[in-house]
């Protein structure tokens, strides 16, 4: 006996294949455009923003991250990121796939150069999220995403990350805070139940690393 074909399953596969291809095509075009035309570092791309493209830019205009929901995930959102950075008068770009989105970029300047603190967020499930900060710098005409500028009790790290849950009203209180003037980074304290309690772990840049200080 031949089993009946599940047309719905085949339709879903076709849609997913088409969606994956559309994301790949858009990512490639955006990556090429960002890499070839330095002027795109300051363009607003309002029409793309209106249909879901997010843009995070550094204040010095040297680093920009484009991000969007690929609609390829379920309760866990799958994001695509195009990272664009400036090298002298030229630009380069990198395609980064993942479950996270970089939505804010802060700047730290020190004698050795300029460092960028990119804040990222990921939705793991309908209520569970992950958020963190990753340090970048532009060196020798390339982007270094492994800058170990954060000092904790376990050693030197290029990022800090934590998980939390959001209630049904959309409240979580788990926002990372950074003050560029004082170079103070604040990471929310999350309890065992996944809820932020309103307190923060404070890190201050002491000249070489971000180190924990008393609040």
List, for residues 138-176, the tens digit of each pLDDT value.
Answer: 998 899 999 999 999 999 999 999 999 986 555 667 899
pLDDT, tens digit, 9 for 90 and up, residues 189-211? 999 999 889 899 999 999 999 99
User: Residue 203: exposed, middle, or buried by beta-carbon count in 10 A (0-12, 13-18, 19+)?
Assistant: buried
Q: Is the pLDDT of residue 13 over 70?
A: no
pLDDT for 1 equals 45
What average pLDDT does this structure show over 109-131? Answer: 90
* Per-residue pLDDT, 168: 58
Rounded mean pLDDT of 169-184? Answer: 84
Of 147, 158, 160, 137, nearest to 60 by C-alpha is 137
Q: Which residue has the tokens 């791309």?
A: 45
Rg of the chain over all Cα atoms, to the nearest angstrom: 20
Check if the beta carbon of residue 127 is closer than 8 Å to that of residue 121.
Answer: no
Per-residue pLDDT at 102 exceeds 60 = yes
State the pTM of this model.
0.87
* CB contact at 8 A, 129 and 165: yes
pLDDT tens digit sequence for 45-74: 999 999 999 999 999 999 999 999 999 887
pLDDT band at 10 (very low <50, low <70, confident <90, very high): very low
Closest CA to 10 of 123, 18, 80, 138: 18
- Three-class HEC string of the chain: CCCCCCHHHHHHHHHHHHHHHHHHHHHHHHHHHHHHCHHHHCCCCHHHHHCCCEEEECCCCCEEEEEEECCCCCCCCCEEEEEEEEECCEEEEEEEEECEEEEEEEEEEECCEEEEEEEEEEECCCCEEEEEEEEEEEECCEEECCCCCEEECCEEECEEEEEEECCCCCCCCCCCEEECCCCEEEEEEECCCCCEEEEEEEEEECCCCEEEECC
Which of 169, 175, 213, 215 lies closest to 196, judged by CA? Answer: 175
Check pLDDT > 70 for residue 12: no
Count how many residues are written for the chain.
Answer: 215
**Span 104-133, average pLDDT:** 92
What's the CA gap between 138 and 182, in Å, rounded? 22
């Amino acid at each position: 006996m031949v089993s009946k074909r599940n047309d719905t399953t085949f339709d879903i596969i076709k849609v997913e294949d088409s969606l994956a291809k559309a994301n790949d095509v858009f990512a490639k075009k955006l990556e090429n455009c960002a890499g070839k035309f330095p002027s795109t570092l300051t363009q607003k791309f309002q029409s793309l923003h209106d249909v879901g493209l997010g843009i995070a830019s550094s204040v010095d205009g040297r680093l920009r991250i484009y991000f969007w929901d690929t609609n390829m995930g379920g309760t866990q959102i799958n994001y695509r990121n195009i990272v664009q950075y400036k090298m002298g008068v030229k630009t380069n770009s990198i395609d980064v796939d993942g479950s996270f989105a970089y939505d804010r970029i802060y700047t730290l300047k020190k004698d050795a150069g300029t460092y960028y603190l990119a804040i990222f967020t990921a939705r793991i499930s309908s209520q569970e999220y992950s958020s963190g900060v990753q340090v970048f710098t532009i060196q020798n005409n390339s982007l270094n995403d492994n800058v170990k500028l954060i000092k904790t009790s376990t050693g030197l790290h290029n990022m800090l990350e934590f998980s939390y849950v959001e209630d049904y009203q959309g409240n979580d209180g788990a926002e990372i805070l950074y003050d560029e003037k004082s170079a103070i980074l604040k990471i929310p304290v999350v309890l065992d139940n996944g809820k932020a309690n309103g307190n923060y772990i404070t890190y201050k840049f002491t000249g070489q690393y971000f180190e924990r200080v008393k609040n």
